[in-house]
Amino acid sequence: MDRRIFLTTAAAGLTAAAGTLPAMAGTTGRLPAAAAPPSAADGVGGAGAGEAGAGGAGAGVGPWGGFVRSVEELRAAIAAAAPGAVVTVADGTYDVTEPIAITGKRGTCDEPIVIRAESVGGVVLQGPQTFVLSASSDVTLSGFAFRGQTATFDVPPDCKRIRLTRNDFQLADVEGLHWVMLRGDYTEFDHNEFHDKSKLGIFLGIEGAGTDQMAVGVHIHHNYFRDHSFPGDNGGEPIRLGVSPRALSTAAAVVELNLFERCNGDPEAVSVKSSGNTVRHNTFRDSMGGIVLRHGNGTRIEGNYLLSGQNGIRIYGNDHLIVNNYVEKIGNAGVVLGSGSVRDHYPGEPSKSRTGNDAPDRVRIALNTVLDCESGIVGESHRTLPPLDCAVTDNLLVADSGELVNMPFQDGITWSGNIHWGQGTDGNAPAAAFTRVDPRLATGTDGVRRLTSGSPAINAASRAYPDVPRDLDGDHRTGRTADVGADEYSPRRPAYRPLTPVDVGPHAR
């Protein structure tokens, strides 16, 4: 079976509100405005100790940091660093033939140990090795360009509260090499860039201790993933959030405000194989990869833009909420509600069962806008177990070709309040499931089609959504009844919009 497309061989939820999620450092809830490139110190905390770099090689190196000009001086400064230390590496290119150990270094939440480049991207670490962390906490690595490493950059389970920020990753493009693996609790991974990979292997993986646990509380935001061109059937994901043996482990990861462009290494750009996660306000553009809930339960997919790619959102597992997403011009299906080879995963199940597809139960697909895709919301019939107790409600489906709905298993699905429009056929949507009416959309300066003041979608939702307080743009869902689709009509400027490269990566504000 070719996994490079979302199979749609049909015959023709998590209820916690986003506002209740724990606050995450570095996230404002708004998109950053373009600005002058920051220094490596921006956003990493710590005092200005160690800035006395002009005094020559190794000047001022001590427990509070210093300015270093060689790999040997860097190792010595890390070994001496105490909480609050800032170690600054002079701009230049450094050959790293042996690991740079960060062992037993413990900052504090208020006084992390910061190891940074003099300027963002100004320090190039090249060669087979890189930093190797162990038994450390509250350490920040900022502003480095990693080039040609043949070993995975690993944050192991015995490390906590590690932050990787404003780094540029282009490790060796060798078969099977995963570039970064996060396995420590409460890792923050932000404003980094991955690019130019053509071989088997993922950009970023999140796992945990042992064989069946996930790291808890990982926060991935404002990163730029681009130009992964592995031509195989699978194995080139930009983000893999778990693996099948860890599916029932609750990660509580937040993946938000990241940009994916030309990510063609796998049909799964964000592959979720764990439980209890949030994937929100990301942008996927011109990519084969979409968002796939492959294993695990209780994940919230909210407010994402999937634009001009091949695959949209595909769902397996239980108790997911798919809400407020904007899916436009996808070459295959906009949303796929999968079928199962197993009913549910369970602890201790055989490995063959665990790698099977868990039929969706209690999944809600609501308040999404799906425009001009090959097909709108569809199912699968090549597996025998159907969805159960799922709901498809108050979505806006518009297309001038193809089918808006193609769902082979109907008994386990509740339909209501959807709006259909365009020359695309209604497919096998139940007659009571939708109204065919022009939603009166208008295209904004950001290319997003939103409701206009006279739209019949306004206040037309068929049910209340107390766990969806905001829409795609960040506007409040006002009144007793929400508007149909991802957009709640408002004349205000959107707080969220599709991301562009100036919003993410090492040089973004």
Per-residue pLDDT of the chain (509 residues; tens, 9 = 90+): 343 333 333 333 333 333 333 333 333 333 333 333 445 545 554 333 333 333 344 556 889 999 999 999 999 999 999 999 999 999 999 999 999 999 999 999 999 999 999 999 999 999 999 999 999 999 999 999 999 999 999 999 999 999 999 999 999 999 999 999 999 999 999 999 999 999 999 999 999 999 999 999 999 999 999 999 999 888 999 999 999 999 999 999 999 999 999 999 999 999 999 999 999 999 999 999 999 999 999 999 999 999 999 999 999 999 999 999 999 999 999 999 999 999 999 999 998 899 999 999 999 999 999 999 999 999 999 999 999 999 999 999 999 999 999 999 999 999 999 999 999 999 999 999 999 999 999 999 999 999 999 999 999 999 999 999 999 999 999 777 999 999 999 999 999 999 999 999 999 99
Total structural domains within the chain: 1
Give residue 41's pLDDT: 47
Asked if residue 60 is part of any domain, the answer here is: no
Asked whether 372 and 397 are in contact (CB, 8 A), the reply is no
Specify burial of residue 396 (Cβ count, 10 A radius: 0-12, 13-18, 19+).
buried
**Residue 425 structural domain:** 173-503
Give residue 34's pLDDT: 31
Quote the CA–CA distance of 129 and 500 in Å, as a whole number.
32
Asked if residue 340 is part of any domain, the answer here is: yes
> In CATH, what number is assigned to the domain containing residue 412?
2.160.20.10
Quote the CA–CA distance of 335 and 412 in Å, as a whole number.
17
Give residue 282's pLDDT: 99
Asked if residue 420 is part of any domain, the answer here is: yes
Give residue 442's pLDDT: 98
Asked if residue 478 is part of any domain, the answer here is: yes
Q: Give SS3 for 76.
A: helix
Give residue 77's pLDDT: 97
Quote the CA–CA distance of 232 and 78 in Å, as a whole number.
41
Which stretch of DSSP H or E encloses residue 354?
helix 351-354
Give residue 388's pLDDT: 98
Asked if residue 193 is part of any domain, the answer here is: yes
Give residue 480's pLDDT: 77
Quote the CA–CA distance of 81 and 72 in Å, as a whole number.
14
Asked if residue 54 is part of any domain, the answer here is: no
Asked whether 236 and 265 are in contact (CB, 8 A), the reply is yes
Burial of 140-160, coded b for 16+ CB within 10 Å and e otherwise, reads bbbbbbbbbbeeebbbbeebb
Asked if residue 50 is part of any domain, the answer here is: no
Specify burial of residue 131 (Cβ count, 10 A radius: 0-12, 13-18, 19+).
buried
Give residue 424's pLDDT: 98
Burial of 228-240, coded b for 16+ CB within 10 Å and e otherwise, reads bebeeeebbbbbb
Give residue 3's pLDDT: 39
Count of Cβ atoms closer than 10 Å to residue 400 Cβ: 9
Quote the CA–CA distance of 459 and 142 in Å, as a whole number.
47
Give residue 256's pLDDT: 98
Asked if residue 160 is part of any domain, the answer here is: no
Give residue 40's pLDDT: 54
Give residue 49's pLDDT: 35
